[in-house]
Amino acid sequence: MIAATVRTFAPELWSSVDYFRFFYIGTHSFNSDTTKAISGVRNHFQKALILHQLSTKLLPNLSNDEAEIQSKGYTPATNAKEFSAVLEEVFTELYSSIDCTRKIIVAIYRRTRGLPDSTRKLFHRVSDGLLGNDFPDELKHAIASADWYDELLAIRDELTHSDIGNCMIDRDTKLVTYMHTGIYRNGIPLIITDVMGKLQFLIQSINTFLEAVFHFLNSQLEITTIDQLCGIFFGRAYLRTLTIEPSIDLNSGICQSHTWFDHDVQFRCPLANSCGAYTRAKSPHQPKPN
């Protein structure tokens, strides 16, 4: 049997969403629905990224439908439908991450006059200047700057209740065109001439939006200390205490597990010799390395 060995404490990979997820408990007491939303922000966005990556793997299959047309004069467009279904889930997962973000904002600022418990109403009221001075300017700016929101909302609303759209590769531009006859704009069906480029734009824009929102929410958190899992080494869990601070790295915090692995050499943490948290545990007044 091989014992599990994995480092789970990787603050260099944390986003502002991760930072909030770890440290909000020292400031906020949320109900179960809002707690789920905190995980949902990250999880839905990660699902969108995974599905977007999957779509790039499926993209070459679109040529199979074209080949079938050339050879048989007809195609059921199975590959296009599979590709379209994956793309549509990227749109809906991206929107879900925003919806979860709204739930957190409403839970924190629920006493704000006129604050709606609806994502579309929140974005529209901010854009229309209908929320007063008791709602933070930083959040107003992040929401008002989301000029992509209405388009994503319209697509998400229709995809929730409609059949699968259709994708094809333009013979001249080689770009993937997406069309959905159940979604109309100005009286004509929705056509996105470069759907892969559109999704890339939305992913980048929503990532920027989430970072802006949670960077501000993190700035409002009270200083607190949490228990953080460092990793699983030799089949055992290793922990440290971690205090909220602007910059957190592998040397942050104070090692907890040294109290038992110092007495059992075979289970000594493999990072101990280079870890500031271990050094600080042995010498409590040791400052964090620059």
pLDDT values of the chain reduced to their tens digit, one per residue, 290 residues: 555 678 899 999 999 999 999 999 999 999 999 999 999 999 999 999 999 999 999 998 888 877 777 777 767 778 888 999 999 999 999 999 999 999 999 999 999 999 999 999 999 999 999 998 899 999 999 999 999 999 999 888 888 767 787 888 887 888 998 888 777 777 788 888 899 999 999 999 999 999 999 999 999 999 999 999 999 998 899 999 999 988 899 999 999 999 999 998 899 999 999 999 999 998 866 555 44
**Dihedral-angle region of residue 210 (phi above 0 means left; psi in -120 to 50 means alpha; beta otherwise):** alpha
Predicted TM-score (pTM) of the model is 0.87
Within the chain, residue ranges assigned H as helices are 16-23, 32-58, 62-72, 78-108, 119-127, 137-144, 149-161, 195-219, 258-261, 276-282
- Give the residue from 91, 42, 3 showing the smallest Cα distance to 210: 42
* pLDDT (0 to 100) of residue 286: 56
Across 170-191, b (16+ Cβ under 10 Å) vs e yields: eeeeeebebbbeebeeeeeebe
Q: Are 88 and 104 in contact (CB under 8 A)?
A: no
At 147, the amino acid letter reads D
Q: Are 243 and 225 in contact (CB under 8 A)?
A: yes
Locate the domains of the chain by residue range.
Answer: 1-18+224-290, 28-219
* pLDDT (0 to 100) of residue 290: 46
